Structure 1
Amino acid sequence: MEDTIIEVREDFMLSPAGDSQPTFRTAHFLKPIANSIDKPSFVFNPSFSSYEFEPKEWQLKIHFNGWRYPHKKWVCWVDELKQKYESVWKKAGIFEAITSTKCKIKKNQDLVYGVVEKWCCESNTFVFSFGEATITLEDVRVLGGYSLFGDPVFTPLEDDEMKEVEKKLILARQVKSKSKKGVAPSTSMWMDIFINKGSEIEHEAFLATWLSIFVFPHKLNLVKSSLFPVAIHLARGNQIALAPAVLASLYKDLSLFKESIVGLEKCSLKGVRFPLELEVNLRSPFYLVQIWVWERFQNLQPQPKLINNGDHVLLKWDMVKGLEIDNVRLALDSAVDDFLWRSYVGYADKCGVFYPIDECWIPFKKDLNKEMLSFVTCLRVSELVGFDSIEQYLPHRVSMQFGMDQDVPSYVPRFNETKNIAWENYCRPISDRAFYFPSRFFEADVTARYTKWWKKSVLGRGDFVDNIVRRKRSVRSRKHTPHEVPPEFLTKLDDNVTFGKSCDDGSSPELLKNVPSENSVQDGFKADENIDADAPSSLTPKLNNLTPLVLVEYCKPVLEEKKCVGIINESNQLLSQFSSAEYEDFKQILPLQKPVTEENIELSRGVLEDEAKDENESIEERLSSDRISQTGTQGESYSYLSEENIVELELRISRLEIVLTKLKMERFGQN
């Protein structure tokens, strides 16, 4: 079967806003397309794609290591070397990416948190009420100025001259600081070594600085020796495909961001609290996520700056202050008429991508220029090869972002066994004999069956929109007896996640006590401590001996299939209990740690009864304390309960019903 990109057929088409009658017309779709909506290849998990975050309530700190504001020293260095190396940068496809680093993109943290809520890690897309959308290669090319073409980022150095330059860079990196001996220099110190010093390797050192600060940053603000080969290639005008690597890092960080908070949410719903602050390090140019939102959502877009005809697009947002939005969630979900599927066609001449005035078909092999090839590359399902991850790129799920009509997307197998295999997938030959380019003025539609699939997959699953806009996060987790953090939760997180308080003085933070772990978690050092990026693991403190939580299953032999699950500590105290269904969900975060022992069974059954009493008394007390009546009559009191209290009570009542059911089963053998 040919690996073609476009499928053309006649079908009934509808507006994605759902405000039109079906129109039978010729439509152009991105492949692959699902054959049936009854057995979709991918079903959204609403519990994962619709979590709502309350940043102020979380013991969580996000470090945007790739969101750097340009230092005056850096801006001067850019201007100085631009005069000498502009032609080389353009040949290597990095001119816009370098010059745009002079911009300062002001962070709108509420907006960033709000859009991350919508991220779906399975599909690498944002799931909005009106459809899927995502950051694509087109966005990274246009907003970041990164090249789609060239060699992969893992390309080795080819000759002795390049290898000699690398040795000189490594030697410069090993220079000893007066205050801290034997450690790598910070990026600021590194710039001092080369600026106005007449070094023969200044250009390579400059590019290594650019890559380390703005493209693939280190959390400790160091120059990364692993980036030296890339810098050396670029200094010679050799193109490196930075766009797929940058997009892979963005996808990885979006998933890390989302998974960290979903993990915390799941733990809090089980009454588990983290004794120390959780820190997450995002190592991608995450400001591109905010710029993507500003470019796409008209209702969230601040007033951009006016720029000259030849200026890079990012300059529109230099020093622009974001809007103050009361409810980002509501603004995102109600943006069906404010979302721009093709936000760059208005300044097509600045984008380096082909947006024709009239639709056209162009033979592939002999008539496509670089701008056309850029557009084609953005449309192909592929693997994105980064430095430390390989991410799947699925543009057929967001066809309308390219002016193509949208049908039900099909499953795409992975080709990520090795970096070489993934890179071959990204660079595979194009099979289409001719290629379709939609008019820049065309507004794409969705098929009638896509509308049906979308309602079934997302809108029909627990009333997706209402869950996002109206549902209040339960405060129940803050009322429960705090449990210690499960050690297994640590092993599910990336090495970019740290437990501990940030220390402004550069000292090691207070660590979690007593957590055995081979994959120790780095604690947070101050950026200018200049710890070597390649330092041995001895610099990474170990977490050991945390008092374990033990999951216990208990049931009578006659009720073998009716299991109830509880958590006990080493003192055989039951901390919490769950239904078997809740247990299956909880196992994803806290796997079974120890085998069930016979002595725990009877103890757990007795504690269940005591906890049921406590639960019942607790609910009565809250009902009594939460009743508020303007007239003083008890009959009107329930109508004045706060929405948060109502949700909390419903959850506690539901939990109590489960406990009582289990007690009846234990005592009387009832079903």
Structure 2
Amino acid sequence: MKQQSLEDTMIEVREDFMLSPAGDSQPTFRTAHFLNPIENSIKEPAFKCNPFSSSSSVFDPNQWPLEIHFNGWRYPQTKWVKWVDELKLKYESLWKKVGIFEAIMSTKCCIKKNQDLVYGVVEKWCCETNTFVFHFGEATITLEDIMVLGGYPVLGDPVFISLQDEEMREVEKKLIFARNELYKTKSGKPRPSIWMDIFIGKGSEIEHEAFLATWLGNPIALAPAVLASIYRDLTLFKKTIVDLSKYPTGGDRFPVEITLQSPFYLVQIWVWERFKNLQPKPQTMLTNHGDPLLFRWHKVKALKIDNVKLALDSASDDFLWRPYVTCADKCGMFYPNDKIWAPFEKDLDKEMLSFVTCLRVSKLVGFESMEQYLPHRVAMQFGMDQDVPSYVPRLNETKFIAWKNYCRPISDKKLYFPPRLFEADVTMRYAKWWKQLVLGHDDFVKKVVRRKRSASLRKHRLHVVKFNTSGNDVGVPPGFPPNLVDTLNCGKFCDDEGLKIKTRKVEDLYADVPAKNSVLNCLIDDEIIDADVE
């Protein structure tokens, strides 16, 4: 099959029959906008994989000797918050100029960890595509999420760039000397608290550089590096779960430890921003107009969810494809009220160029890894329509070649920006592909429920899950499994580390699903689903 070149344009425009992603509308023939590359033939697998790459058993973290160190999930120390506020008075304009102001201010937030939620979403991760595979479709953390939630710029120099002038190299030497001095302390190793004690209020000529070194020490830099580290840790986490699930429970087992260096709290915030049925009440009292969006979740307690996996799978009506468009003034992204076709220019507005960068297939260059970035698989997260995504091969590239690909010239003569309240759809071809390769039902397109759709924004309603025993699943989105429980309880708060939930298994729900590709393999993990059936 002829693969579409990455040198081709980002946007493909054509008329096609389109369906609501929830399958609750009649096909509509209209002009649609897609992200390239698009698969040419639905008869061919869109990507390759190992059919045994996922586990077919349920992973219960309470039954396994797994210890996870979230090194990038740090609660801010009081002295750090004070240091940020002190240097903000002097360097705020500089931080904004280089695009790191919101990222620095976000480090003042305390995001309470809910491990039940984290475990549940990690089990949905597909290592081959760097996407989460839910029963209603694919979704993932994108550069847009990292820019909006973390405040990290998508534009700029790579993280591996060397210092360019003698003055900066001299500052580097002083920082290295200060770091080496920490090894002489009682702790015997560098600690952020000791580092801050050395510089805060001491009038050091390199105080600002020491501050930035502390901030970057997570390690965190540009958005591509941050996202690459999150993808890497999601894959490490998922593969560990899969490997542990291959061994029977009970008896003596060697303990397993994994260390996640990325700012993994962004994974939890991503879930809160997009899943209405998992979203606690955001913080409002502490949020000022100029605060980053992350402050909405400062010290917020997670909801108690009786079954996270079930809540994720039944969230087709509760998933927000574009959660940030309602607060566009805080996002630093270009979300126009009406669609815009803008001619491409080299001096394109920074917000517009940032949005365009989020749309392109590329290779993310991090500190210790390089990861594929495949936004064409989740086009609806950008207000674009979704067609069958083409397979993008993994190339063994150097970081320099990968970065050149990330910064490659834009081929489009005009750039399309969808209206921020536009409801994107999927092609009937995509619906058929998802049915055949993921859900394995024969009547995906046949069960289209007639319902009038809004031309602008579908209201996000509470999703009441019903148990249907009649075999006539009229209210179920076509091609999707019947719901399993009578009511989904989302009203109680849980502690930071989550609660142990009593569940029972519903076996062989998807026993007829053919193992054809990597997205399907990620769903194999859910063939036995934990369901709290009352």
Q: Is the 8 A contact 2:109 2:299 kept in 1?
A: yes
1:52: how far off?
A: 3.3
Residue 175 of structure 1: SS of its match in structure 2?
Answer: helix
Q: From the CA coordinates, give the structure whose radius of gyration is larger.
A: 1
Aligned 8 A contact 2:339 2:418 in 1: yes
Cα distance in structure 1, aligned partners of 2:484 and 2:357? 34
Q: Is 1:437 the counterpart of 2:384 in the alignment? A: no
User: How far, CA to CA, are the matches of 1:176 and 1:158 in structure 2?
Assistant: 27
Instruction: Please show how residues 313-324 of structure 1 align to structure 2 within 5 Å.
Output: 313-324=293-304
Gaps of 5+ in 2: 443-478, 486-502, 508-528
Shift of 1:49: 7.5
Partner of 2:22: 17
Deviation for aligned residue 1:163? 1.3
Q: Among 349, 365, 371, which residue is 1:385 paired with?
A: 365
- Counterpart residue number, 2:212: 207
Task: Measure the CA separation in 2 of the matches of 1:158 and 1:294.
Answer: 41
Matched residue SS, 2:193:
helix
Q: In the TM superposition, what whole-angstrom CA distance separates every residue of 1:49-71 from its partner, at most 9, and x where no partner exists?
A: 87532111111011111110000
Question: Distance between the aligned counterparts of 1:260 and 1:22, measured in 2?
Answer: 42
- AA of the residue aligned to 2:216: L
Letter of the aligned partner of 1:304 in structure 2?
Answer: P
CA offsets, 1:459-488, max 9 Å, x none? 1199995899998399xxxxxxxxxxxxxx
Corresponding residue for residue 112 of structure 1: 118
- Equivalent residue runs for 1:169-568 within 5 Å: 169-176=175-182, 180=186, 183-213=188-218, 215-216=219-220, 242-268=222-248, 275-306=253-284, 307-365=287-345, 368-460=348-440, 472=505
What per-residue deviation string (whole Å, max 9, x for no partner) do you get for residues 216-258 of structure 1? 4xxxxxxxxxxxxxxxxxxxxxxxx610000000000000000
The farther-off stretch of 318-327 and 152-161 is 152-161
Distance 1:97-1:363 versus aligned 2 partners, 3 A rule: same
The reply on whether 1:102 has 2:108 as its aligned counterpart is yes
One-letter amino acid of the counterpart of residue 323, structure 1: L
Contact 1:50 1:118 survives alignment (8 Å) = no
Partners of 1:161 and 1:4 in 2: how far apart?
42
TM-align CA RMSD: 2.5
- SS of the counterpart of 2:303? coil
Tell me the alpha carbon deviations over residues 57-94 of structure 1, each in whole angstroms, 9 at most, x when there is no partner. Answer: 11101111111000001001101111111111112211
Query: In structure 2, do the counterparts of structure 1 residues 177 and 376 end up closer, same or farther at CA, with 3 Å as the change threshold?
Result: closer
Measure, in 2, the Cα distance between the counterparts of 1:177 and 1:278. 29
Cα distance in 2 between the residues matched to 1:473 and 1:151: 50
Distance 1:250 1:413, change over 3 A: same
SS class of match (1:374): helix
Q: Distance in 2 between matches of 1:304 and 1:73?
A: 26
The structure whose RCO (Cα within 8 Å, separation 6+) is larger is 2
2:342–2:414 Cα contact (<8 Å) kept? yes
Deviations 1:395-423 (A, max 9, x none): 00000000000000001133442100100
On the 8 A contact 1:296/1:343 being kept in 2, the answer is: yes
Answering whether residue 65 of structure 2 is matched by residue 65 of structure 1, we say no
Separation in structure 1 between the aligned mates of residue 56 and residue 120 of structure 2, nearest angstrom: 11
| Distance in 2 (alpha carbons) for counterparts of 1:312 and 1:42 | 38
CA distance change for structure 1 residues 179 and 90 in 2, over 3 Å: closer, same or farther?
A: closer
Aligned residue among 130, 151, 156 for 1:124:
130
**Is this contact kept in 2: 1:43–1:457, CA < 8 A?**
no
- What is the rounded CA distance, in whole Å, between the counterparts of 2:159 and 2:252 in structure 1? 38
Residue 429 to residue 80, structure 1, CA distance change in 2 (3 Å): same
Correspondence for 2:82 among 73, 76, 82? 76
In 1: Cα distance, 2:55 partner to 2:30 partner:
33
Structure 1: distance between partners of 2:86 and 2:155:
27
2:65, 2:254 within 8 Å by CA — same for their partners in 1? yes
Q: Is the 8 A contact 1:64 1:281 kept in 2?
A: yes
CA, structure 1 residues 49+309, in 2 after alignment: closer, same or farther (shift >3 Å)?
Answer: farther
**Alpha-carbon distance in structure 1 between the residues aligned to 2:22 and 2:59:** 27
Going from structure 1 to structure 2, the CA distance change for 1:242 and 1:142 (only over 3 Å counts) comes to same
Q: 1:65 to 1:468 in 2, by over 3 A?
A: farther
Question: In the alignment, which residue of structure 2 is the partner of 1:560?
Answer: none
Sort the Cα spacing of 1:468 and 1:205 in 2 relative to 1 into closer, same or farther, 3 A.
farther
Residue 36 (structure 2) pairs with residue 3 (structure 1): no
Q: Is the 8 A contact 2:314 2:483 kept in 1?
A: no
Given that residues 9 and 412 in structure 2 are in contact (C-alpha distance below 8 angstroms), is that contact kept between their aligned partners in structure 1? yes
Q: Look up the match of 1:147.
A: 153
Aligned equivalents of 1:209, 1:370: Cα separation in 2: 27
Q: Secondary structure at the match of 1:268?
A: coil
Cα deviation, 1:114-163, whole Å, max 9, x if unaligned, reads 11110000000000001000000000000000011111000011122111
Q: Structure 1, residues 299-356: CA drift from partner, whole Å, max 9, x if none?
A: 1000001223222100100011010000111111110000000000000111111010
Query: How many Å apart are 1:185 and its aligned residue?
Result: 2.2
> For 1:43 and 1:449, how far apart are their aligned partners in 2?
20
Alpha-carbon spacing, 1:157–1:179, altered in 2? closer, same or farther (3 Å): closer
Counterparts in 2 of 1:73 and 1:51: CA distance versus 1, 3 Å: farther
Tell me, in whole angstroms, the C-alpha distance in 2 between the residues paired with 1:360 and 1:156: 39
**1:53 matched residue in structure 2:** 59
Matching residue's letter, 1:83: L
- AA in 1 matched with 2:176: I
Q: TM-score, normalised by structure 1?
A: 0.64
Q: Deviations along 1:346-400, whole A, 9 cap, x unmatched?
A: 0011111101001111101167311110110000000000010000000000000
Matched, 1:26 2:35: no
Deviation at 1:455, TM superposition (A): 1.1
The 2-side partners of 1:274 and 1:265 are apart by: 15
Letter in 2 for 1:147: P
Number of equivalences: 448
Gapped regions of structure 1 (runs ≥ 5): 217-240, 475-642, 645-671
Which residue is 2:41 aligned to?
A: 36
In structure 1, give the amino acid aligned to 2:65: Q
Quote the sequence identity (%).
Answer: 71
Change (3 A) 1:51 1:398: farther
Q: Distance in 2 between matches of 1:200 and 1:449?
A: 62
What is the CA deviation profile of residues 628-654 of structure 1, one whole-angstrom value per residue up to 9, with x for unaligned ones? xxxxxxxxxxxxxxx99xxxxxxxxxx
**Structure-2 separation of matches of 1:415 and 1:421:** 10
